[in-house]
Amino acid sequence: MKRRFAVSLLIAAVALVASGCQAVSLKDPVTDQALLTRDLYNLVFAVAAFVFILVEGLIIWSVIRYRRKPTDTNLPTQTHGNLVLELVWTAVPMITVFVIFIASWNVLNVVDARDASKAEVKVEVVGYQWQWKFAYPDNGIEIFGTPEQYPELVVPLGKVVQVTLVSQDVNHGFYIPQFLFQRDLVPGHVNVFQFTPNKLGTYTGQCSAFCGLLHHNMHFTVRVVTPEEYATWLVDTKPKPSPSPSETPAESPSPSPSAIRLTTSAAF
Amino acid sequence: MATTALRTAARPRTSLYEWLTTTDHKKIGILYTISSFIFLGVGGTLALFVRAELAQPGLQFLTESTYNQMFTMHASVMIFWVIIPFLAAIGNYVVPLMIGAPDMAFPRINALSFWMVPFSGLVAVSGFLLGGAADAGWTAYPPVSSIKYSPGPGMNLWIVAVMLVGTSSILGAVNFMVTIFRMRAPGMTLFRMPILTWTVLVTSVLVLMGTPVLTSALVMLFIDRNFGGAFFDPSLGGSAILWQNIFWFYSHPAVYIMVLPAMGVISEIIPVFSRKPLFGYKAFVFATAAIGALGFSVWAHHMFTTGSVFLPFFSVMTFFIAVPTGVKFFNWIATMWRGQITFKTPMLFAVGFLSMFLIGGINGVFSAPVPVDYAIHATYWIVAHIHYVLFGGSFLGIMAGIYFYFPKMTGKMLDERLGKMNFALMYIGMNLTFLPMHVLGLSGMPRRIADYSPTAGWNDLNLAATIGGFTIGLSMIPFFWNVYISLRNGEEAGDDPWEANTLEWATSSPPPAWNFDRLPAITSERPLFDARHGRSGKEHA
């Protein structure tokens, strides 16, 4: 009876830990860079979990094992310290964090790599209270978001996309959870980053830097499409002045997700 | 014991006038405590409004504007008018007693420091009645905090109030430093000082180095807002990033300002209730100093995502600052190891501090590896982190200190049963509130949003956090009831109800205005222990 209780308790604990681990993992990464970030997170998490269980375990053990008993009339041994022990528990964490730092530095050099010559798609993101403008300067495309219709950034799978971030008024944060990435838009300061999407799909994003009244309403999406779809999308989305009626493909799956409103920059 | 009774009878009745004009560090300590509890009520109510609004998607109770004011003022009130003054309360009451001094070095400046706190706090919250409180977050990043984007009076009031409370901190820091350096009793060498005194000393150094820098930023922001300055206005050649650098140069050390004295409190309580000396006293002092020094080299980890800081340096320093804190954990555990632990309420809160602040330390390390920070920055993960540090660490430490020193302050014991109820409810409540926030952060919920999409998958965890928040609020009821009944007919405390180690327990409870009639010999960091048992055990390492 007692044993069955213990077993079911154990099963419950395992289930709890398993679901807990599920819950505390990052979102599925969808860029090459994010894969590395996820691995780094998992490394940090593994070390953190070990430290947590070790220290919390020591605390729990101490408070259970060393409770004062009625027979404890004499003082316990008055230990004031132990130099060797103290050096060890200073040095070991020091080395541990330094190793993680080296690992994180390596990942950072990839995540933060910016080589303009490698950029295959260039987009400009402008943040303003309280929406976004996504522009493709090479193609003359500008997409303005509205509170009713969040803007969508369309990028081709497997290509290096370079994002230039500009703020028109206050700080904003360009944050896509599944990219495991965010970068601030700071007025007076242009930020650039690159990413390589590696999974088709539509991913939500949101402003992460508090920007005033309707901060919570600055949503957007990023849609990763195949390079062919991307080419079609570019043609379809390009403003009217340059129609290329010769070969508008009939099977084009009408990609323009009416999230797009075309205006001129005079809208500012 | 007999002297206590005699003195209580002989003491003149304390009139309101006496409390308002007192320069006695003990009364000022109690005034700080009362003021902090009042602002705790304000900051807590604001937090519950925020949690009520976030319980489900959609805007039910607040508008975006009031929501923004409330989360801004919740953080500001809790940091500047609750946690920092609470620690000043404990420091004020206990430090002169601990080092065998009759009072602080500058009693009148001490009174000035105190009165600036409630006054500035009223200035800050008065915005709610004057057309809108500050609404740019407690970090007040320009341009959101500029006159253009936050035109209401709240922001100006906030700047003035934080400047005032900062000045109060600076005065207090000078006072503590002079008191600790100049007024120690004969025999109380630096390395015989109680750890709490050490942490107050290091905190004072941090305040003295950091707060004037914050004040300079506030002055610049005030000029920008009201006199056409452009320090932080990029459209006129200023720099918005400049604010972040100056602000965090103070505000990161401010986290240590808010947690070091709490660590000090814990380091007094754990040895007493384990009947052992603190393991590695000197290592603990050096770790405290190391945290203080390293604390000024990590500020830009709040700015990794701005793309304008030198990442490797701040990353590696952020990793390293975890080490001295880790060392302290081992010291605390080794102190309990093979001890004889009794679980009175102060010890419960101290162990609560250990188990919760551990989480606040570990989930903070996730921000040190920059790419991981890119993924979790400005999400609810950070909200979880700061609350495990400031609630699980600072506030549980403060509660431990209040339960520990209440008998000294009032001469009465608090009720143990109500104390344990307080602890249990608060412990459950805080984990129910802040644990789910890790998951919310990882699943992409940004902080500081008034509303979220019902399809984002954040509903259940937000509801859990809200229930937890109200549980924390509920947990304070047994506490206040406990204070009320214990003051009226609590058990007499006597001079030293806990069999403690340090000088504050060598005098009556409450102590006379002049603190001590006589002091025991001070030949170690545990003079009372020595008086009780003689020096046993070998010299500490």
Q: Return the domain boundaries, chain A.
A: 7-66+82-111, 116-239+257-267
Furthest C-alpha separation in chain B: 72
What are the pLDDT digits (tens) for B482-539?
A: 999 999 999 999 999 999 999 999 999 999 999 999 999 999 999 999 998 876 544 4
Query: Nearest CA of chain A to the CA of B431: how many Å?
Result: 14
Q: Do B358 and A59 touch (CB under 8 A)?
A: yes
* β-bridge mates for residue B133, sequence order: B154
Can you give the pLDDT at residue A259? 35
Specify if B17 maps to a domain: no
What are the pLDDT digits (tens) for B60-82?
A: 999 999 999 999 999 999 999 99
Q: Which fold, A7-66+82-111?
A: Helix Hairpins (1.10.287)
Q: Do A189 and B336 touch (CB under 8 A)?
A: no
The whole-number average pLDDT for the span B431-437 is 96
Q: Which residue of A has its CA nearest to B236?
A: A188
Q: Is the pLDDT of residue B307 over 60?
A: yes
Q: B8: pLDDT confidence band, cut at 50, 70 and 90? A: low
Specify if B283 maps to a domain: yes
What are the pLDDT digits (tens) for A191-211?
A: 999 999 999 999 999 999 999
Cα dihedral sign, A110-A113-A118-A120: positive
Q: Is the pLDDT of residue A252 over 60?
A: no
DSSP H helices, B227-369, are 240-274, 281-294, 311-336, 345-365
Q: Do A76 and B539 touch (CB under 8 A)?
A: no
Can you give the pLDDT at residue A10? 74
Contacts of A90 in chain B (CB under 8 A): 283, 323, 327
What are the pLDDT digits (tens) for A13-42?
A: 777 676 666 678 888 999 999 999 999 999
Radius of gyration of chain A (CA): 27
- In chain A, the percentage of residues whose pLDDT exceeds 90 is 72
Specify if B93 maps to a domain: yes
Can you give the pLDDT at residue A154? 96
For chain B, give the mean pLDDT. 93
Specify if B541 maps to a domain: no
Domains in chain B: how many in total? 1
How would you label B421-460 residue by residue, b for 16+ Cβ within 10 Å and e otherwise? bbbebbbebbbbbbbbbbbbbbbbbbbbbbbbeeebebee
Query: Nearest CA of chain B to the CA of A176: how many Å?
Result: 8
Domain that holds residue B382: 23-533
| CA–CA distance, B133 with B123 (Å, rounded to integer) | 10
Measured between CB atoms, does B439 come within 8 Å of chain A? yes
Q: Is the pLDDT of residue B100 over 80?
A: yes
* β-bridge mates for residue A221, sequence order: A152, A204
Can you give the pLDDT at residue A251? 42
Query: Nearest CA of chain B to the CA of A260: how many Å?
Result: 21
Q: Which fold, A116-239+257-267?
A: Immunoglobulin-like (2.60.40)
| CA–CA distance, A165 with A73 (Å, rounded to integer) | 69
Specify if B393 maps to a domain: yes
Shortest CA distance to B291 belongs to which of B265, B326, B316?
B326
Q: Is the pLDDT of residue B288 over 90?
A: yes
Query: Does a cis peptide bond (omega within 30 degrees of 0) precede residue B510?
Result: yes
Measured between CB atoms, does A69 come within 8 Å of chain B? yes
Q: Is the pLDDT of residue B160 over 60?
A: yes
CATH number for position B278: 1.20.210.10
Q: Which two tokens stand for residue A242?
A: 């340059």
Q: A47: pLDDT confidence band, cut at 50, 70 and 90? A: very high
Q: Which of A59, A78, A177 sits opposite B354 (nearest CB)?
A: A59
Task: Read off the amino acid at residue A8.
Answer: S
Q: Which two tokens stand for residue A173?
A: 């944060």
Residues sharing a CB contact under 8 Å with residue B201, sequence separation 6 or more, in sequence order: B176, B177, B180, B193
Can you give the pLDDT at residue B256? 94
Find the range with the poorest average confidence among A46-55, A245-254, B247-256: A245-254
Specify if B16 maps to a domain: no
Shortest CA distance to B267 belongs to which of B282, B256, B251, B252?
B282
Specify if B241 maps to a domain: yes
Can you give the pLDDT at residue B13? 57
Contacts with B, A 177-206, CB within 8 Å = 177-178, 180-184, 186-189, 191-193, 204, 206
Specify if B539 maps to a domain: no
The whole-number average pLDDT for the span A212-229 is 96
Q: A101: pLDDT confidence band, cut at 50, 70 and 90? A: very high
Question: Contact, A173 vs A183, CB < 8 A?
Answer: yes
The whole-number average pLDDT for the span B428-434 is 96
pTM for the model:
0.91
Q: Do A182 and B375 touch (CB under 8 A)?
A: yes
